[in-house]
Structure 1
Amino acid sequence: MAARRTAPGTEDRQLSLIEQARRDQLIQITIDLVAEHGYAATSLTRIAQTAGITKGAVLYHFAAKDAVVAAAYERVLGELVAEVKAAVDAAPADQAPAAYVRRMVGHLADRPDHTRMIVGAMINGDPPDPSARWKPLASLLQDARQARGLAPGPDPRTLAVIVGGAIDGIIGERLQDGDYDAQAAAEALIAMLETALFA
């Protein structure tokens, strides 16, 4: 099924295959440009030039720069969430936090363009609700302790915030140094997390 247009006045019309392909192209170009040049340097004009079309043609598909950036952000975030969710769903409850860390680090380390897009959109757009990041992991941490028959332990929110900050640090290091072993760092983080969670 084709996606619905977001341009003003056309919300109820289905996109043609050509329109959807162009829209997908513009989203990918935006991801690439934000990753390479940053949010501020990614203008509608630069997006249009890269796509080989006019700025008006970009505006046919997206009402403004913020709209195409939002679509790009939604795409990369959606892919990250889907991949992490699949890894967590496939793991036993007591191993779900480790699966979360492995896949989160793996996905972001393997896709630096997606990482830069997420960071750029978060810094320059409406800040997301911070609880959207720590709540899912906090829930996994509680479930992991319960799966092992343990009483409530360390504050799951605090532990989730710490783990999120550590993931950010690992990915930041990987962005600065492509040879940095992010997966080894993820395994070290998992070892520390499991000590805090299960010891």
Structure 2
Amino acid sequence: MIDTIAELGYEQASLAQVGQRAKISKGVITYHFASKEVLMQAVVDEVFGQFAAFVTARVPDDQPWDMLRAFLQANADFLKTHRKQLLALFAISRNAHDLTLQGYSPELDIERIAALLTEGQRQGTFRDFDARIMATSILALRDSLIAQSAKQADLDIDHYIHEIISLIDHAIRQSS
């Protein structure tokens, strides 16, 4: 089911397509999932749970820059090891606006990153900037990695995230 969504995208991943690729009847799928939306919600819940646990376990309770860098690296590492799952989650979240990510909202991510940036500014590590705008930009860069990976299966994820982290470092750090 995840493979079907990752390969075909949300729009084309019908219950019939999922059943056909899983070599089971559509009836078996509809027995467990009343609709495409229920199936997609199950995928979202499973993958987002894995993703959140993976990233959270890798972000230390440390200095703001170390936490931000670890957050971005953990996102890339999850993509490297769970590419199809993350691409499926990305496809669903971009298209099924009525689904919920348990315990997640884009606004919450922005607030958390903005708070981290504000703390870095308070400590004198980060220069002065609008933390909310910078947080939104950082998350857009993170999302660009996932989007590019969807377009380019052989993307060098390590190089891509290294460049993103370097770009962010130059954008937010206090000049020496």
Percent identity between the two aligned chains: 25
Where does structure 1 lack aligned partners over 5 or more consecutive residues? 1-29
Distance (whole Å) between structure 2 residues aligned to residue 68 and residue 162 of structure 1? 31
Which residue in the other structure is 2:86 paired with? 115
Shift of 1:91: 4.8
Which residue in the other structure is 1:132 paired with? 108
Shift of 1:44: 1.6
- Deviations along 1:12-31, whole A, 9 cap, x unmatched? xxxxxxxxxxxxxxxxxx21
Where does structure 2 lack aligned partners over 5 or more consecutive residues? none
TM-score by length of 2: 0.80
Please, which of 11, 14, 28 is the counterpart of residue 57 of structure 1?
Answer: 28
Q: Does 1:195 align with 2:170?
A: yes
TM-score by length of 1: 0.72
SS class of match (1:123)? helix
Shift of 1:182: 2.1
Which residue in the other structure is 1:36 paired with? 7
Distance (whole Å) between structure 2 residues aligned to residue 41 and residue 151 of structure 1? 44
- Deviations along 1:32-72, whole A, 9 cap, x unmatched? 11111222222222223333433232222111111011110
Q: Does 1:141 align with 2:99?
A: no
Please, which of 152, 155, 158 is the counterpart of residue 177 of structure 1?
Answer: 152
- Deviations along 1:135-184, whole A, 9 cap, x unmatched? 222222223444x4558832221111111111222333333333432222
- Pick closer, same or farther for the CA change 1:116–1:197 going to 2, 3 Å: same
Distance (whole Å) between structure 1 residues aligned to residue 90 and residue 17 of structure 2? 20
Distance (whole Å) between structure 1 residues aligned to residue 39 and residue 50 of structure 2? 17
Distance (whole Å) between structure 2 residues aligned to residue 100 and residue 85 of structure 1? 8
Amino acid in the other structure paired with 2:112? P
Q: Which moved more, 1:55-64 or 1:188-197?
A: 188-197
CA contact (8 A) 2:120 2:126 kept: no
CA contact (8 A) 1:96 1:144 kept: no
Asked which structure has the greater RCO (Cα within 8 Å, sep 6+), the reply is 2
CA contact (8 A) 1:97 1:144 kept: no
Distance (whole Å) between structure 2 residues aligned to residue 159 and residue 123 of structure 1? 22
CA RMSD of aligned residues (A): 2.5
